[in-house]
Amino acid sequence: MTNEAKPVLIIGAGVAGGIVAEVLSKSQNSDFKPVGFVDDDVKIQGQILHGLPVLGTREHIFTLVNRHDIKEIIIAIPSASGQVVSEIVEICHKSKARLKILPGFYDLITGRIKTKSIRDIEVDDLLGRDPVSLDVEQIAGYLTNQEVLVTGAGGSIGSELSRQVAKFSPEKLILLGRGENSIYEIELELRENFPNLELKSEIGDVKDQARMKQIFGKYRPKVVFHAAAHKHVPFMERCPGEAMKNNIMGTKNIAESAYRSGTSIFVLISTDKAVNPTSFMGATKRVAEMVIQSMNIRGGTRFVAVRFGNVLGSRGSVIPLFKRQIARGGPLTITHPDMVRYFMTTVEAAQLVIQTGAQARGGEIFILDMGQPVKILDLAKKLIKLSGFDPETEIPIRFTGIRPGEKLVERLEGDGEGIIPTRHKRIFAVPESSQDFSLLEDVLNTMESENFLFLEHQVITLLQKVLPGFKNNLT
């Protein structure tokens, strides 16, 4: 322990708190000096546990911080709900001590807790949902010893899908992406963590039909996760033709290549913005869903889609933006005080997407249970507090107005879609239905014609053929 070690208060005097106390006390290079515990169990108040005194309950935190000159508070309750963590954060925020949190149960069980594992608390610690439970046997049944391909493998969802797939020992994992730097990074990480995994990386654009045929002909993957897409709503409002090329034509190219190469299961990553879409991004993703549903009719390959909302911390999401704005001293910009969104972590999303593949019969649109929608204003205030500041007084919040294509509230199911439960409590499905895809075929043929230039008015007109009412105000 160094002479400059910071006095630390540990919240939770149970098994996890005891391990933290032991690790901090025995470490020669620790930056922390444990002073005692806070625990709400009145029966253990004043006792010495794990070599440290139980100094009080959570109501005493502010007093204890001042009395013992506490610099760091470590939350060591891996089983605590997001609501409990939020309450503790609110209490601790009144003091000047910095908050940190212990890793989850997995690290506790495997004994991987080290001082460097104790990290700053993040917004996703406050979501308040139970960990995702997976049917490991079911998943292993379709991934283990199979060739698996992930498109957009360098992106937030694609890279996490690749990490999760790698755990199930596929015969081969093919990373496909357009950006060489992001593919290089995920390849490097996977080679370090899974040295026995046969890993192949390919650079290619899903819009390039010839390149997709070449890659699929080379590897003939049995399972495909299609995560490559343009997802930024404001950008796609300015570049609707690019949204159409990437999200619709790219999906068509990948789906047809998968079908021809004998893929067994194809999972399209979709979005809640595809429901009653008001943006080009949402509309093109809804048509992408229709593309894979039409492909499913051919038989052979089981084509499905998975819809979910916003992913905390993903590229372009609101959390990294807020963090940058806080680092600059504010203001935090929010489009509307009543804006709400569904959120989940990248790990949650990837695990549930993989689980849907195990349930795929073909033609379904799966919907992930995202929990309760979160008010963006509340999210912003929590992040400001976690950063050690007061909302409004130290970091101002400014409302900028709803951007083109945005909704105040997103939905996960469309009008008239019948949602049914699946074998997994957090996965629902819109079952396959008989649809006439002749209009979709006409739209796809038009997009491939030489006369179609992907101009905004052309894009709107074409989308309206399969999505009546879309962008009525612009026609």
CA distances from residue 398 to 113, 333, 403 in whole angstroms, order as listed: 40, 5, 14
Active site residue 172: no
How far apart are the C-alpha atoms of 421 and 142, rounded to whole Å? 21
How far apart are the C-alpha atoms of 94 and 74, rounded to whole Å? 15
Instruction: Write the single-letter amino acid at 462.
Output: L
Asked if 427 contacts 368 with a C-beta cutoff of 8 angstroms, the reply is yes
Beta bridge partners of 173: 148, 199
How far apart are the C-alpha atoms of 82 and 47, rounded to whole Å? 28
Radius of gyration of the chain (CA): 25
CA 322 to chain CA centroid, Å, is 17
Query: Given its phi and psi angles, is residue 418 left (phi above 0), alpha (psi -120 to 50 degrees) or beta?
Result: beta
How far apart are the C-alpha atoms of 272 and 287, rounded to whole Å? 13
Asked if 244 contacts 459 with a C-beta cutoff of 8 angstroms, the reply is yes
Asked if 435 contacts 365 with a C-beta cutoff of 8 angstroms, the reply is no
Q: Which strand ranges, in their side-by-side order, compose the sheet holding 48-49?
A: 48-49, 52-56, 32-38, 6-11, 72-75, 98-101, 119-120
How far apart are the C-alpha atoms of 25 and 283, rounded to whole Å? 57
Choice among 222, 231, 273, 285 that is catalytic: 273
Kindly give the pairing relationship between strand 420-421 and strand 427-430: antiparallel
Q: Coil, strand, or helix at residue 248?
A: helix
Query: Given its phi and psi angles, is residue 469 left (phi above 0), alpha (psi -120 to 50 degrees) or beta?
Result: left
Q: Which strand ranges, in their side-by-side order, compose the sheet holding 172-177?
A: 199-203, 172-177, 147-151, 223-226, 265-271, 302-308, 365-368, 427-430, 420-421
Would you name the residues annotated as active-site residues? 273
